[in-house]
Amino acid sequence: MSVSESLSPRSSDIEPVIPTTPLVSFFERLQETALNTFGETNFDPKLYVDLSLKFDLPTTEDAFVKLPKSANGSLSAEDLKGFIEKYFESAGNDMVYCEPVDFVPEPEGFLPKVKNPEVRAWALEVHALWKSLSRKVSDQVQKRPELHSMLPLPEPVMIPGSRFREIYYWDSYWVIRGLLASKMYETAKGIVTNLIYFIEEYGYVLNGGRAYYTNRSQPPLLSAMIYEIYNKTDDMQLVKKSLPALLKEYCFWNSDIHKVIIQDSQSCNHTLNRYYAMWNKPRPEATTKDKKFASKISNVSEKQQFYRELASAAESGWDFSSRWMRNPSDFSTLATTTILPVDLNTFILKMELDIAFLAKVTGDNSTAMSFIEASQSRLNAIKSVFWNEEAGQWLDYWLNDSTCKGCQTWEACNQKQSVFASNFIPLWVESFYSDTSLVEKVMKSFQGSGLLCAYGIATSLMNSGEQWDFPNGWAPLQHMIVEGLARSGSKEARSVAEDIAMRWIRTNYVAYKKTGKMHEKYNVEKCGEFGGGGKYAPQTGFGWSNGVVLAFLEEFGWPQDQMIDC
């Protein structure tokens, strides 16, 4: 029996739904009322589910029901505004500022390869942003959790910034890479402790630290965080504390809802994984938007499936992208659960390799061997199902249907032919970047793909208007591809990696000098332009952008005489 079979639970409910809380349900009602009352201009639905109650829920609901209404049932803006001010604390009040215990203005040994004084001064400003993004969950949340959508956490957090007022799962990997460059090891360990707490409480790491995020996870990178921290600190206690949680998370990702069996042309069975949110209603943080997206779908079960596809796309971190749509011009054709994603399976391969490594350093050779075997099986599966020799890329695979009952037979026509940055993410894992001839082939494919633009790697070639598409570039995608190329051992690949990193650093710098802020995403066609598109306004802060800039500067530096401007 394989390690995934021995650890994997059997789901009795093939279409599970994690129930929401009465508080979140009330916040959704408030959100819809606010949209109807205040209108769409500058309306952010997330604001209303991030409020906190001043009084208990029955008292607040009673006051809400008793608000004076016009003949058509509507509220006046003045009455609703007064109600919110009287009965709610502002969004963000459930987090309080927290000075990081290990922050110093200029850490010893900080970015030794950065020789240009202008770039070094900017890097220190980016480093200083950790102070502005540091928070801890308010004591009030611990005392009266029923008044808050914020979930209690044991340690301080780094928030991404702006409307993202809570911890997020996959963001935390690149935040931690930046914290390690900033020598803030205790802060990095605290973030991992919080994510382990989620696993202990819920069985998996939540998408984020809110009650409305309990129905899905995000790309599973906890093991990679622990691996990087251990490599910097040799903290054996952290590894020992983490292993049981990592095994539990691995079990979650290999449960029946995520697991799919594909039989290849040689009649070999391969187990791979997909995103699958445990939710079939509008996402509470975007109820008003999701209902509008689904308004043309009349069939109830089709509408529920669309809502699951929406939440599953959010679980992928790529919310939203033409990648998940059958028809890229029609948002209602989202089909996330019908796709086996290259990057998710790369992350789970990395998880298997990390668990094997971490188990071995603790002396648990049996677990280490089991996960080495699991990683070998997944490596074969990735090669068999995703690899396209002609393209020189790994391509997402369309399933014949989303129910995934039994075994599906591999068909070449089911490989998704579109070019996305995710097609190159396997390079990030040693199993692939250590293969010199493969790296050369993939690098040539990448260079001819059209993704590499003047100021970084585009997410896709399609300008769909969604934020995880062209012309946006995102810090995580730059980092994984660059790091894989840089670690490959090929001088040419490292040169390509450094060139991409320099392009990305330059546009981040110019945008910072223009706006005074780091941004969530960037337009890779225009120097110093932040990204747009998607379902909410562009955000600043910004955790993973800061982390990747610091990680790139640590790896590649910046020469004394090299210009940083466009």
Are the C-beta atoms of residues 325 and 334 closer than 8 Å to each other? yes
Q: Which residue has the tokens 């998408």?
A: 207
CA distance 270 to 382: 9
The three-state secondary structure class of 156 is coil
DSSP 465: S
β-pair type (407-409, 259-263): parallel
User: What are residue 53's DSSP bridge partners?
Assistant: 88
Find, among 119, 186, 176, the residue nearest to 547 by Cα.
Answer: 176
Find, among 340, 250, 206, 336, the residue nearest to 2 by Cα.
Answer: 250
Are the C-beta atoms of residues 107 and 178 closer than 8 Å to each other? no
User: What are residue 134's DSSP bridge partners?
Assistant: 158
Residues 6+ away with beta carbon under 8 Å from 318 = 324, 422, 459, 468
Catalytic one of 61, 285, 319, 396:
319
Torsion-angle region of 249 (φ positive above 0: left; ψ -120 to 50: alpha; else: beta): alpha
How much helix, strand and coil, in percent to the nearest 5, is found in the chain? 50, 10, 40
CA distance 216 to 549: 29
Q: Which residue has the tokens 């082939």?
A: 441
CA distance 114 to 123: 9
CA distance 317 to 425: 14
CA distance 293 to 321: 15
Return contacts of 81-84, CB within 8 angstroms, 24+ apart. Answer: 84/30, 84/34, 84/51
CA distance 362 to 377: 24
The letter for the amino acid at 140 is Q
The letter for the amino acid at 419 is V
CA distance 397 to 335: 12
Q: Which residue has the tokens 């599906």?
A: 408
CA distance 536 to 411: 37
**Residue 520 is a catalytic residue:** yes
Catalytic one of 28, 285, 520, 554:
520
The token duo for 20 is: 């929401």
DSSP 151: P
Catalytic machinery residues: 319, 520
